[in-house]
Structure 1
Amino acid sequence: MSLAASLVPADITAALAACQAEGSFDHKVFFAKVGLSAKSAEDIKKAFAVIDQDKSDFIEEDELKLFLQNFSAGARALSDAETKKFLQAGDSDGDGKIGVDEFAQMVKH
């Protein structure tokens, strides 16, 4: 399953274009632009399952680095600094990874 299936293609294009330059990724802006923050809790869980490439029930740093590629195969990888900032924003319990509840919280706020 691809995230593109449940989102508007023009929204994905606009969201990816807004963070094309290294250092320009902001998860709050991205989630809003791509339309994920307006989705239901069920849709957010489905998005989490796609991003959780290794099906560990957590999104780890290596999966976050390739986050944008879940929306478009040709998208850039996040820089190390962007990846670390993204992880810190979502990892509310400090275990070094993002669980489904942490991801949902991050998308909605």
Structure 2
Amino acid sequence: MAMKDFLKEDDIKKALDAFKAAESFDYRKFFDMVGLKAMSADNVKQVFKVLDVDESGYIEEEELKFVLKGFSSEGRDLSDAETKTFLSAADKDGDGKIGIDEFEALVHE
């Protein structure tokens, strides 16, 4: 599966363009712009599975750094600070990684 199977390519491009500059990533605004926030919980969980590159059931810090590339190869890497901010916002149980339910909750918060 690819992101374009779930989201509109135009929405993905606009959202990625809005966050081209390092240190500008706002996950809440990104989720809204790309159309994730309006999706059902089940569809958000399908998107999670695309982002979970190693299929571990979690998005670990190293995968999170490249999360925008999961939406498009044109996406940039997140900075270390952006990655840590994103991780700390989503990681509600403090295990250092984002589970599928944590991801869905973050998208819809």
Task: Name the TM tier (shorter chain).
Answer: over 0.9
**Corresponding position: 1:51 with 2:54:** no
| Alignment RMSD (CA, Å) | 0.7
TM-score normalized by the length of structure 2: 0.97
* Match in the other structure for 2:83: 83
Give the total of aligned pairs.
Answer: 109
Partner Cα distance (1:30, 1:13) in 2: 11
SS in 1 for 2:37: helix
* Match in the other structure for 2:20: 20
The aligned amino acid for 1:106 is: L
The aligned amino acid for 2:57 is: D
Partner Cα distance (1:49, 1:10) in 2: 21
Q: Which runs of 5+ in 2 are unaligned?
A: none
Partner Cα distance (2:4, 2:31) in 1: 13
Calculate percent identity across the aligned residue pairs. 52
CA deviations on 1:16-58 (whole Å, 9 max, x unpaired) are 0110000000100000000001011111110110111111111
* Match in the other structure for 2:93: 93
Post-superposition offset of 1:74: 2.1
The aligned amino acid for 2:106 is: M
TM-score normalized by the length of structure 1: 0.97
* Match in the other structure for 1:2: 2
**Corresponding position: 1:105 with 2:109:** no
**Corresponding position: 1:66 with 2:66:** yes
Q: Which runs of 5+ in 1 are unaligned?
A: none
